[in-house]
Chains A and B, each alone.
Chain A
Amino acid sequence: MVTISIDGIRTVVPEGTTVLEAARDLGIAIPSLCHNPGLSPYGACRVCIVEVKKGERSTIEASCTLPASDGLVVITNSERVRKNRKVLIELLVSSCPTSKTLQDLAANYGVNRIRFAIKDKNCILCGLCVRYCKEQMQSGGIGFVGRGTSRKVATAFGVTPQECRNCGGCEWICPVCERACTAANLTNGLCGGCQNLMHVETCELCVHCSESVNARGHRVY
């Protein structure tokens, strides 16, 4: 068992627990895209970043791949984290503006402009489908092909392999295909069409309604 501190709350968790899991156990919401409890940690989307205090200084780390170690001091919602996260969301949206999951994330974290050139690749390379196919289906029909800017999820030689059982899991788990943003026109890469956010000043009875929490209270959507 190791003792760590998350947002000033001391908690004892079993060794091998990631900071993301420990925080979620405490009810502290950290957004994430490429993390799934049933799959191995991957650390691709970086949306789950937290600030780790190291004496006077602090570093930004992806909480989904950061194992809890004794004496770790983590802050999940500092100014620095929020600022960094906004840039990450901007980058993700710019490479895939058609995802409702991403547009919601952008809306919830106050991203109101995209400063990067929009190159719709319809994929954020989060690897969920690849890991689902390999780890949950024990199949390995799809994987990453190429590298750098031409990296993409594909099947070998472009043909559906024998291993594929047509389970549809890759489509189900995908943050892009699962919920597509159907906005007719995106302004500046952002949709904003379904930002039906109801601001709740104080949240007296927290039922972990959503994972969109910010410093000013809960936002429910």
Chain B
Amino acid sequence: MDQMHTINEVKQATEFVTRIISAYSARPESLISILQDIQTQYRYLPEDILRQVATELGLPLIQVYGVATFFRAFSLTPRGKHSISVCLGTACHVRGGRSVMEEMERQLGIKNGETTPDMLFTLESVNCLGACALGPVVVIDGSYHGKVSSGKIKKLLAEYSKETSRSKK
């Protein structure tokens, strides 16, 4: 039963990727857009899918791999449901961005760049988000949270994990 499920999933994934690639007329120039769409769907770039992309675009695998490793927007390891970016830029650093990062690491039990074992959160640092007046800034799933203090973090994380458990029901 479980095996069937996986085979079905693989088939679905293959079809999904083929659909994306044909939407871009299988042009090698559209590689980045294709990878972006795949990243949005799976939150990371699985190896077999990258192999499929390379074959269908007629590119050497290393070229696809090179692009996938070059941009920070792409990830080769599975990422959590919510991505947390803590700004460590100059302004945020001065306003205590580092202690926010440390508190995040403590609360989530992971290091910068890692994902929680329950696949809920991925923690990473960014160098500037251009919202220095709000510093220290934390961005979770694209929404900005300004003037974050270590005290606020617990509430913030609880909000997102609650939301997830609610949507599961």
Taking Cβ atoms with an 8 Å cutoff, the residues of A that contact B are 134, 139-147, 155-157, 161, 163
Contacts and interface: CB of A to CB of B under 8 A. Distances in A.
A146 B60 contact: no
Interface residues of B, number: 12
A161 B69 contact: no
A144 B60 contact: no
A142 B62 CA distance: 6
Contact of A139 (B47, B60, B64): B60
B69 A140 contact: no
A161 B47 CA distance: 13
B62 A156 contact: yes
A144 B70 CA distance: 9
Contacts of A142: 62
A146 B71 CA distance: 8
Interface in B93-134: none
A141 B60 CA distance: 7
A140 B70 contact: no
B62 A143 contact: yes
B70 A146 contact: yes
A163 B64 CA distance: 14
B142 interface: no
A144 B65 CA distance: 9
Interface string B7-38: 00000000000000000000000000000000
Contact of B63 (A140, A146, A157): A140
14 contacts: A139-B60, A140-B60, A141-B62, A145-B65, A145-B66, A147-B70, A156-B50, A156-B62, A156-B64, A156-B65, A157-B61, A157-B65, A161-B60, A161-B61
